[in-house]
Structure 1
Amino acid sequence: MKKLVLSLLVPVLAAMTMIVGGGTASAASNPYTAAGACAHDFGGSWQQASTRGRYAINSWKGHAADVYLMYNAATGYNCVVTIKRLNVGTATRTGAHLEVQGGATKGQWGDYKYYSAVQAFARDRCIRFFGSVWVNPETDSAGPSDTWGNCH
């Protein structure tokens, strides 16, 4: 009888351990999309740029963030947003950079929980952009900061 009870009880206890907290931890998902982050900070409706509009930032800890180039056709503004994939919900150094050819250079750097975003007017102008995120003990970045493109 003892063996029967133990043989039934062990799998139940193992399952409860996984449910209560003995399982593996998973990364928190970011509640913001690129379009949502740009709309949250600047208003309006944003679409991902058609060419070179997304770059992944990979670090030694994995997929750290994504850098998006967004465009608002109604206003002529571009938005660059770095969406965190690691350390989501924890304020860590995160940045977004946007340079308009013959115009403004804008950067937004700080300790953010979810994303960093910046916008600049760029109708009929080319831009270049990049983003960065700090993943202890280093900063990683991505984006085509060396070439002009996405001329709208």
Structure 2
Amino acid sequence: MMILTARLPNGAFEAPAKLGTQQYYGTSNLTPDVAFTKGLPLKGFCVDLLRHAGKGRDSRFRGTTPFLMVNEALGQGAVCWADEGGWVYELDNIPGWDVEKLLAGKVPTANGFAGAPFPGEMEGAIDSWILPSMIRRAGKVERSRRFLVVNEWTINKNCPNLAF
């Protein structure tokens, strides 16, 4: 896996930094049998962080969050991104970019400068190409009486760091 840089709205490039020991990625498109053996595939080639945050096409990044759920009503959090029947992956200590921090006050608008298009997600952007060894575990998203949840986790035996 190569280390890449993210382009900020002012044209500057930012190297990845540690996001924290726990990051979650949610998807309805990839099952653990594929993720644990092949990893998460490259999505695109664009390294523009604002374009990624605005849900633009061809982004090289995946959005992660340190929490399974941030705000279900707003669709924020890994379980919301996966939705019922989808999968949440806990990733192992992956470097990336703190979207809200890096875009704060740097997004040009008609009235001055703003921040990330979807504040409050606590999103970390990571390289979309994830090796199987970087995925600690996977959990299927279910609907409890009121909320989306992950009740059971499957450990990835291909991840060398299985300490929780």
TM-score range, shorter chain: under 0.3
Larger radius of gyration: 1
Q: Under a length normalisation based on structure 1, what TM-score does the superposition of the two structures give?
A: 0.25
Structure showing greater relative contact order (alpha-carbon pairs closer than 8 Å, 6 or more residues apart): 2
